[in-house]
Copies of this chain bind each other. A is one copy, B any other.
Amino acid sequence: MQERRPSHRTLALALCACAGLLTPTLALAQAAAPAPAASQPASAKPAGPAPGKKPSSADILAASKPTDWRTVDPELALQMELPAGKVIIELASAFAPVHAANIVKLTRAGYFDGLAVIRSQENYVTQWGDAEEDDAKARRKPDTLAKAPVEFSRPLKGLKLSALPERDTWAAKVGFVDGWPVAVDPKKGRAWLTHCNSIVGAARGNEPDSSDGSGLYAIIGHAPRALDLNITTVGRVLQGMDKLSSLPRGTGALGFYEKAEERTPITRVRVLADIPEAERPRLQVLRTDTATWQAWLNSRRFRGGGWFVHEPSKVELCGALPPVRSAP
């Protein structure tokens, strides 16, 4: 129908958009949407590149093998239900084990159910938790909740880094570990999960160790990498980022909602493992220790033959988060 057909010019930019930034949300959205060749879902039949055209990101995903994908552990992922829809978050237990365990414990105790999104600041963060946490009205936390230590970084030892050759403004070395965007300080032997768009962190006060996982935020704009090593990053939104990024921004200082009624209520949060199998989302993240991953990165670096007239020849850590799909 008329409305479904984008115009020549808009579609062309769209094509470049698709090849240019295949977001997890988009990857999944497109699996269900009529899409041009360059944005076929990963579950589609392998389609070779057109003559004279280099393989697109979608071509690479379409040709991927089942073993190229890592299935998300349902014991380490959450489904947060908002009025607008579901947000699926994977927890980074390798980087913030105590916070991750706390968040699972809080979720199973029903701590987040009925709380709200309390802040949305343009090009920065959307934050949720207990707006009354410092008051008598504060919601009770499970007695078994651990006092969380600072988990801003972890030892590099034990991590299999798939490093990017590209230089990074913020860190000496960057790359991916099991699909997580990671920065490294080789001298100090430390590694940390970086503040890219869609990464989730644990809000803290002025004391570095004052976070416990009960207050969380997601990056909704350009990666604020200055936050790296200053606050604990705990996960990544794998699906439903738009439910957090398209909220009205708060009109109070720093994007806080000025009135309680402006907040978005959190209907319910569940650990994926606690959702009946029939309705449980089964997501997979493209593995970053494979030839397919390297081919996908190259499809982002070299895009000649189509809409692109200048080969970027580069990828950037926070602009190349691994694609996410529903398990076929």
Q: Tell me the A residues contacting B by CB distance below 8 Å.
A: 2-4, 6-18, 20-21, 23, 25-26, 29-30, 33-36, 39, 118-125, 127, 129-135, 152, 166-170, 196-198, 203-206, 208, 210-211, 215, 217, 220-231, 241-242, 245-249, 251-260, 300, 303, 306-310, 312, 314-316, 318-319
Contact check, B308 vs A198: say whether CB atoms are below 8 A apart: no
**Which residues on B sit within 8 Å (CB–CB) of A121?**
14, 17, 23, 26
Known interface pairs A10-B127, A13-B217, A21-B124. Does A222 touch B224 (Cβ–Cβ under 8 Å)?
no
Instruction: Give Cα A211–Cα B11 distance, bound, in whole angstroms.
Output: 13
State whether A253 touches B204 (Cβ < 8 A).
no
| Contact residues in B for A220 (Cβ distance below 8 Å) | 221
Residue of B nearest to A249 (CB): B242
Measured in the bound complex, the distance between the Cα atoms of B246 and A123 in whole Å is 10
Beyond the given pairs A2-B260, A16-B227, A230-B308, 17 more chain A to chain B contacts, judged by CB atoms under 8 angstroms and listed by A's residue number, are A3-B131, A3-B257, A9-B203, A9-B211, A10-B131, A13-B203, A13-B204, A17-B224, A20-B227, A29-B249, A29-B251, A30-B253, A122-B241, A170-B314, A196-B222, A229-B310, A246-B247
Cβ–Cβ contact B16 & A122, under 8 A: no
Q: Are A248 and B246 in contact (CB under 8 A)?
A: yes
Cβ A13 vs Cβ B309 within 8 A:
no
Closest CB-CB distance, A152 to chain B, in whole Å?
Answer: 7
Shortest C-beta distance, A45 to chain B (Å), equals 18
Q: Say how many copies of this protein the assembly contains.
A: 2
Task: Name the contact of A26 in the complex, choosing from B229, B255, B310 (C-beta under 8 A).
Answer: B255
Contact B134 A17 (CB under 8 A): no
> Is the CB–CB distance between A310 and B246 below 8 Å?
no
- Listed from nearest, the 5 A-B pairs whose CB atoms lie closest are A14-B254, A226-B312, A229-B310, A35-B253, A12-B205
A-B contact pairs, 6 of them (CB 8 A): A2-B132, A2-B135, A13-B125, A26-B122, A206-B306, A226-B300
- Residues of B near A119 (CB, < 8 A) are 6, 10, 14
Query: Known: A119-B14, A133-B7, A205-B12. Contact between A222 and B225, CB under 8 A?
Result: no
Point out the residues of chain B lying under 8 angstroms from A307, CB to CB: 206, 230
Q: A12-B205, A247-B246 are in contact. Are A122 and B6 (CB under 8 A)?
A: no
| Cβ B23 vs Cβ A123 within 8 A | yes
Cα separation A4 to B133 with both chains bound (whole Å): 14
B169 close to A168 (CB less than 8 A): yes
B221 with A197: CB separation less than 8 A: yes
| Most chain B CB within a 10 A radius of its CB, from A10, A124, A134, A228 | A10
Please determine whether A17 and B124 come into contact, CB atoms closer than 8 angstroms.
yes
Please determine whether B225 and A3 come into contact, CB atoms closer than 8 angstroms.
Answer: no
**Chain B residues with CB under 8 A of A230:** 16, 307-310
Q: Are B319 and A224 in contact (CB under 8 A)?
A: yes
B13/A127 in contact, CB under 8 A: yes
**A26 CA to B25 CA in the complex, in Å?**
27
